[in-house]
A and B are shown apart, each in its own frame.
Chain A
Amino acid sequence: MSRKSLTFLGLGLTALVAGLAVFTHAPAAHAAPPAPVQLLNVSYDPTRELYVDFNALFAKEWKSKTQQEVTIQQSHGGSGKQARAVIDGLDADVVTLALAYDIDAIAKNAQLLPADWQKRLPNNSSPYTSTIVFLVRKGNPKGIKDWNDLAKPGVSVITPNPNTSGGARWNYLAAWGYALRNNGKDEAKAKDFVAAIFKNVPVLDSGARGSTTTFVQRGLGDVLIAWENEAFLSLKEFGADKFEIVSPPTSILAEPPVAIVDKNVAKHGTKEVAEAYLKFLYSDAGQEVAAKNFYRPRNESATGKAGVAFPKIELFTIDEVFGGWTKAQATHFADGGVFDQIAKAGK
């Protein structure tokens, strides 16, 4: 046994050393065949399929431009949890999260990037957008058409927990925004409306993917409040004969932002390739991949090329209705905030 374990130990140490060597290797600027480089993209749950496609495309593009091999590694999870991991030292070169507040948290708590990071790239640093729609069972047996149908008694609604999930916060704010618009901006009525929806929620999963699985796989609930891209993906994965998408007339414009993590790219010497990576998201090819994966591209011509038809929805922004993420977060999702009050009253 001892010889065997020694061999294993040796193997393990070799792997460790090799791993460290790769991490510390900086890309050479213009040497004949530049040394291969690695990027770590820390992202949220529903972007898995998008970045599988996009990473392959970017690696090809970068290789033809610079002769350098680039491998992009991915880490996915709930947006808030992922931000926490980067704050605790997960070595992300770029973060592509569900909402600006989570990247703000990285800037604020770990100073890994400047506070004005969102101004560095066009469109609030969000190369693609999405919105919040409903996924219902085939034939829409409960006749769900708009947000007010979710608050009706006897409708079972699936949505993740806003305390842990970025997607769930968008869901919550979309419902709130709808209520404000239809009640002459009455905050108290909006609170009652959102509370009525959450009364209809039998399970609060911790992430958007978990909620989708609950609705689609486990068959719970009449309606799933979901990212539009997640809803389209469910149709593709599980068949349009089982589910259908209901787009409400109004919803929120969700802008998932991207940023390079300045201190990490400086340490790895990957600033150039990381910047090119994010900029490539805005290129025609990048926009088309986003549309193919059911994210709304900023460049609308990409939608046609990808062959995806996004329904027309009147979209309001978080800045218009809530005065930005920081304010929305403090009012609604902080400890003892409006969501906590609703959750407590619902019990």
Chain B
Amino acid sequence: MSNPTPTIPAAAATAASSSGGAPGRTAGPASRHARRDPWWVRATLITITLLFLGLFLALPLASVMAEALRKGVGAYFASFNDSAALSAIYLTLISAALSVPTNLVFGVAAAWAIAKFEFTGKSLLISLIDLPFAISPVISGLIFVLLFGLQGWMGPWLREHDIKIIFAVPGIVLATVFVTFPFVARELIPLMQEQGTDEEQAALVLGANGWQTFWHVTLPNIRWALLYGVILCNARAMGEFGAVSVVSGHIRGRTNTLPLHVEILYNEYNFVAAFATASLLAGLAILTLVAKSAVEWQVARRRKASAAENAAEH
């Protein structure tokens, strides 16, 4: 409890020492004010935050793991060594692998058009991109049933030509593409609008063609935001339940994705396998979060670097 600055009033001194003992003299007025908050206020706020995080994040995750491991590590891994589970993992990876690149291409195209060009119907296009966010995933699924179902608009024709869309893999991929459509575009539009068209115009003036401009000027400027959008898109693609549930048909070993497989196992009283599969999904989500944080950290670092560069130039 040794305090190097004895001139500070007693209350502030305890506060300063409890926050690491750093002298508060040179700090600005705002941080000084924060340090004068009584210790119990800060302690209460921190406790509440930790309790909340524990209750709503850590505890559910821990209970998933505990349930999954209830009958031991052997039973945990046996849950994945089952043809239905493997097929669900495979289908989830396939639908993510098909929908993420699709949305990458369309998202970049849409964001580019919206941010760099003026045309009529632009605000309509923006609203359309937001549509999958606005409506419930169940409705998204039903849209495809109405379109491709046997009683739907294209149903009879599809059946005649022996093409299966819903209750098969194509329907699951379509539904996933639909619900995850906004992620990439939404991430890119604000950034690209902020960046403006100066650099592209410069490139064009210097004789680059459209493709070169996009490839060498636009894309490098947006790559981190793009990666961020792709990660979010991938997380949702793997975790989507509602829309996929409507178009899946729930055929075990054929049209079940991981989230649907969890539900089936739970309904079969197979709780260990259900929670083991859920923990796999949670693991994928955590990986996604780690990747997301890494990208955010990169972005912040680059921003700092470029700010320092700017400062040095002036």
Contact = CB atoms under 8 A, between A and B. Distances in A.
Interface string B101-115: 100000000000000
Interface in B140-177: 145, 148-152, 155, 159, 162, 164, 166-170, 173
Nearest to A238: B269
A24 B162 CA distance: 8
A89 B251 CA distance: 13
Contact of A89 (B97, B166, B254): B166
A88 B145 contact: yes
A326 interface: no
A89 B155 contact: yes
A181 B235 CA distance: 57
Nearest to B97: A8
18 contacts: A8-B93, A8-B97, A9-B97, A12-B97, A19-B169, A40-B251, A49-B268, A73-B253, A76-B264, A85-B249, A87-B151, A88-B145, A88-B166, A89-B151, A89-B166, A90-B249, A90-B251, A267-B159
A89 B167 contact: yes
A16 interface: yes
Contacts of A77: 250
Contacts of A89: 148-151, 155, 159, 166-167
Contacts, number: 85
Interface in B222-274: 249-254, 264, 266-269
Interface of A: 5, 8-9, 11-12, 15-16, 19-20, 23-24, 40, 45, 48-49, 73-77, 85, 87-91, 109-110, 209-210, 213, 237-238, 267
A88 B150 contact: yes
A19 B268 CA distance: 27
Contact of A88 (B94, B100, B149, B168): B149
Nearest to B169: A16
Contact of A213 (B148, B250, B267): B267
**Which 10 residue pairs across A and B have the least CB separation, nearest first?**
A8-B97, A89-B150, A88-B149, A5-B101, A90-B249, A90-B167, A75-B251, A12-B94, A75-B250, A209-B267
Which among A11, A73, A75, A213 has the greatest number of chain B C-beta atoms within 10 A? Answer: A75
A216 to B, nearest CB: 9
A76 B148 CA distance: 22
B138 interface: no
Contacts of A23: 164
Contacts of B159: 89, 267
Contacts of B151: 87-89, 109-110
B101 A75 contact: no
B98 A12 contact: yes
Given A8-B97, A89-B155, A238-B269, 17 more contacts: A5-B97, A8-B94, A9-B98, A12-B94, A19-B168, A19-B254, A20-B164, A23-B164, A40-B251, A48-B268, A73-B251, A76-B252, A85-B167, A88-B155, A89-B148, A89-B150, A267-B159
Nearest to B142: A88
Contacts of B155: 88-89
A45 B269 CA distance: 12
Which among A73, A74, A76, A85 has the greatest number of chain B C-beta atoms within 10 A? Answer: A85
Nearest to B166: A89
Contacts of B93: 8
B94 A87 contact: no
A76 B248 CA distance: 12
A136 B99 CA distance: 48
Nearest to B227: A1
B216 to A, nearest CB: 17
B94 A11 contact: yes
Interface string B126-145: 00000000000000000001
B49 to A, nearest CB: 30
A85 B249 CA distance: 7
Contacts of B94: 8, 11-12, 15
A11 B96 CA distance: 12
Which among B94, B155, B267 has the greatest number of chain A C-beta atoms within 10 A? Answer: B267
